[in-house]
Amino acid sequence: MILTITNQKGGAGKTTTAAELGAALRKKGKSILFIDLDNQGNLTFAMKGNPNKPGSYEILTNKAKAPQIIQTTEQGDLLTASPALAGIESELTATGKEYRLKKALARLPQKYDFIIIDTPPALSTLTINALTASDAVLIPVQADAFGLQGIASLRETIEAVQEYCNPRLYVAGILITQYNARTNITKQMTDYLNRIAETLNTHLFNAKIRQCTAIKDAHARQMDIYAYAPRSNAAKDFDALATEFLKEAKT
With beta carbons less than 8 A apart as the criterion, state whether 33 and 116 touch: yes
Is pTM beyond 0.85? Reply is: yes
Question: 219, 228 in Cβ contact below 8 A?
Answer: no
Distance of alpha carbon 90 from its chain centroid, rounded? 24
Dihedral of the CA atoms 225, 6, 104, 40 (nearest 10)? -70
State the pLDDT at residue 37: 97
* Radius of gyration of the chain measured on its C-alpha atoms: 17
Residue type, 78: L
Q: Could you tell me which residues are beta bridge partners of residue 176?
A: 141
Residue 90's pLDDT is what?
82
Confidence of residue 145 (pLDDT cuts 50, 70, 90): low
> Could you write out the three-class secondary structure of 43-90?
HHHHCCCCCCCCCHHHHHCCCCCHHHHCEEECCEEEECCCHHHHHHHH
Contact predicate 5/119, CB 8 Å: yes
Residue that wins the pLDDT comparison between 155 and 153: 155
Please classify residue 201 by burial: count the beta carbons closer than 10 Å to its beta carbon, then call 0-12 exposed, 13-18 middle and 19+ buried: exposed
Is residue 126 classed as helix, strand or coil in its secondary structure?
helix
Burial of 36 (0-12, 13-18, 19+ CB in 10 A): buried
Residues 130, 37: contact at Cβ < 8 Å?
yes
What span, in angstroms and rounded, lies between the C-alpha atoms of 214 and 239?
Answer: 15
* Per-residue model confidence as pLDDT tens digits over 2-31: 999 999 877 778 999 999 999 999 999 999
Cβ–Cβ under 8 Å, residues 170 and 197: no
- Residues in a beta bridge with 140: 175
Domain ranges, ordered by start, for the chain: 2-248
Which of 6-20, 124-138, 182-196 shows the lowest mean pLDDT across its residues?
Answer: 182-196
Query: Where would I find the H helices in 165-208?
Result: 184-199
The residue ranking higher by pLDDT, 162 or 11, is: 162
Query: Does the pLDDT value for residue 251 go beyond 70?
Result: no
HSE value, Cβ hemisphere, 13 Å, CA-based, for 14 = 29
CATH of region 2-248, choose from 1.10.599.10, 1.10.1470.10, 3.40.50.300, 3.40.50.740: 3.40.50.300
List, for residues 48-82, the tens digit of each pLDDT value. Answer: 999 999 999 999 999 999 999 999 999 999 999 99
